[in-house]
């Protein structure tokens, strides 16, 4: 039986060769490849400053700490996001406050965002979901009028631009993830972006044991170890060289999905924010028969994923306040959402097979 996997990183001998270079040079911790990767990130995204982090969640944690927000103040974020967005807020000594999202874009609903602001709100964390940007004009307008900081969670946003600005560079600070299922991967890894020099200097202290540079035992501030290895950065350099090919493939395959799946059953698809480019993270579809369709897909050898489980329903997060109306759209998206693979191993024949499989399901129901 055909087996279509959900995640297959696009790696080959190039990544292995670069990793071996670091091993042969005996430079395993942060070194020249990390600096080369950071140089690429600032040039590609347009951010003035960038620091590396072990993963996307810790990148968010670093970003929040660097902003020095008042303890136990509120950070507004969409309920429809990955758990790390909320857990980073909690571990930074802040309070997550969950806001509902738009049913079409899956990104934060700007009207509900503004309605959720309280006297204790100090920041907004928009999440750029599934390969396109949130409406950052609306977010930045709200933030400016209410005096709020903006932390962009662009975990899935490498290569995504809102207007002429790369995601993660529009607010006060932003982060990108390089986990194995992202467009560009290091296996694990992340980066924090900012255009503010004072914030950048705090980031450097926070991530490197309270010192600007390694090799000294005088620590001017409190900090932890958020460094990565040169091996990871080398893999990242090999990956970014493939970005154009990866982006083109994902865009083409997503268009094939839309064409092949249109008109089948009650399926509905993501609507990309008007000013955003699109580097598809997965193929996202919605149906009221989600659970049965997932079972049908798995029986046909097709791995799928559900949409995010809403943050306000997560057991350890239920005690945090929910401002405004109940986030019912986030719950609906979880109850209806299915993600299908869009990695470099997906072929035209795979898309056709998946479409036939989905069509056969609806013909029987």
Question: What is residue 321's predicted lDDT score, i.e. its pLDDT?
Answer: 63
Question: What is residue 325's predicted lDDT score, i.e. its pLDDT?
Answer: 61
What percentage of residues in the chain have a pLDDT greater than 70?
99
What's the pTM value of the predicted model, to 2 decimals?
0.96
- pLDDT category, 42, cuts 50, 70, 90? very high
- pLDDT category, 214, cuts 50, 70, 90? confident
Q: Where are the alpha helices (DSSP H) in the chain?
A: 13-25, 32-45, 56-67, 83-91, 110-115, 136-146, 197-207, 230-240, 243-261, 290-299, 328-336, 348-364
The arithmetic mean of pLDDT across residues 209-220, rounded, is: 86
Question: What is residue 323's predicted lDDT score, i.e. its pLDDT?
Answer: 55
Kindly list the distances between the CA atom of residue 313 and the CA atoms of 20, 88, 116, 287, 303, in Å, as whole numbers in the listed order: 45, 17, 18, 21, 25
Question: What is residue 194's predicted lDDT score, i.e. its pLDDT?
Answer: 98
Q: What is the pLDDT of residues 134-147, one digit of tens each?
A: 999 999 999 999 99
Q: What is the pLDDT of residues 71-93, one digit of tens each?
A: 999 999 999 999 999 999 999 99
Question: What is residue 327's predicted lDDT score, i.e. its pLDDT?
Answer: 82
What percentage of residues in the chain have a pLDDT greater than 90?
91
Q: What is the pLDDT of residues 234-273, one digit of tens each?
A: 999 999 999 999 999 999 999 999 999 999 999 999 999 9
The arithmetic mean of pLDDT across residues 1-16, rounded, is: 92
Chain-wide mean pLDDT for the chain? Answer: 95
The arithmetic mean of pLDDT across residues 222-235, rounded, is: 95
The arithmetic mean of pLDDT across residues 306-314, rounded, is: 96
For residues 99 and 173, give the distance between their C-alpha atoms in angstroms, rounded to a whole number. Answer: 20
For residues 276 and 125, give the distance between their C-alpha atoms in angstroms, rounded to a whole number. Answer: 18
Q: What is the pLDDT of residues 115-125, one digit of tens each?
A: 999 999 999 99
Dihedral angle over CA of 348, 354, 103, 165, nearest 10: -20
Kindly list the distances between the CA atom of residue 139 and the CA atoms of 77, 128, 174, 306, in Å, as whole numbers in the listed order: 11, 12, 14, 27
pLDDT higher than threshold 90 for residue 304: yes
237-272 in b/e form (b: 16+ CB < 10 A) is bbbbebeeebbebbbebbebbeebbeebbebbebeb
Question: What is residue 324's predicted lDDT score, i.e. its pLDDT?
Answer: 55
pLDDT higher than threshold 90 for residue 365: no
pLDDT higher than threshold 80 for residue 43: yes
Question: What is residue 212's predicted lDDT score, i.e. its pLDDT?
Answer: 84
């Amino acid at each position: 039986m055909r087996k279509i996997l959900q995640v297959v990183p696009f790696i080959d001998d190039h990544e292995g060769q670069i990793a071996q270079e670091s091993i042969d040079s005996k430079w395993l911790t942060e070194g020249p490849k990390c600096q080369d990767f950071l140089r690429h990130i600032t040039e590609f995204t347009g951010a003035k400053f960038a620091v590396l982090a072990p993963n996307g969640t810790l990148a968010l944690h670093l970003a929040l700490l660097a902003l020095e927000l008042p303890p136990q103040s509120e950070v507004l974020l969409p309920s429809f996001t990955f758990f790390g967005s909320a857990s980073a807020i909690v571990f930074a000594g802040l309070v997550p406050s969950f806001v509902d999202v738009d049913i079409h874009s899956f990104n934060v609903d700007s009207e509900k965002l503004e309605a959720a602001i309280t006297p204790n709100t100090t920041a907004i964390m928009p999440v750029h979901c599934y390969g396109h940007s949130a409406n950052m004009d609306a977010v930045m307008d709200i933030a400016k009028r209410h005096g709020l900081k903006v932390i962009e969670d662009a975990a899935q946003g490498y290569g995504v631009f809102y207007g002429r600005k790369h995601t993660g560079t529009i607010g006060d600070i932003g982060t990108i993830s390089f986990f194995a299922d992202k467009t560009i991967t290091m296996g694990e890894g992340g980066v924090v972006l900012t255009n503010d020099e004072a914030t950048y200097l705090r980031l450097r202290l926070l991530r490197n044991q309270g010192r600007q540079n390694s090799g000294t035992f005088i620590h001017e501030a409190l900090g932890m170890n958020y460094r990565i290895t040169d091996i990871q950065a080398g893999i990242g350099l090999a990956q970014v060289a493939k970005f154009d090919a990866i982006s083109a493939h994902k865009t083409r395959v997503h268009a094939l999905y839309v064409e092949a799946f249109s008109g089948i059953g009650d399926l509905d698809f993501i609507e990309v924010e008007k000013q955003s480019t699109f580097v598809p993270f997965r193929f996202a579809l919605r149906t009221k028969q989600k659970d049965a369709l997932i079972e049908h897909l798995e029986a046909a050898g097709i791995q799928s994923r559900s949409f995010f489980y809403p943050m306000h329903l997560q057991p350890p997060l239920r005690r945090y306040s929910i401002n405004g109306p109940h986030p019912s759209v986030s719950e609906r998206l979880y109850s209806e959402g299915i993600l299908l693979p869009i990695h470099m191993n997906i072929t035209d024949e795979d898309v056709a097979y998946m479409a036939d499989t989905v069509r056969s399901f609806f013909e029987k129901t």
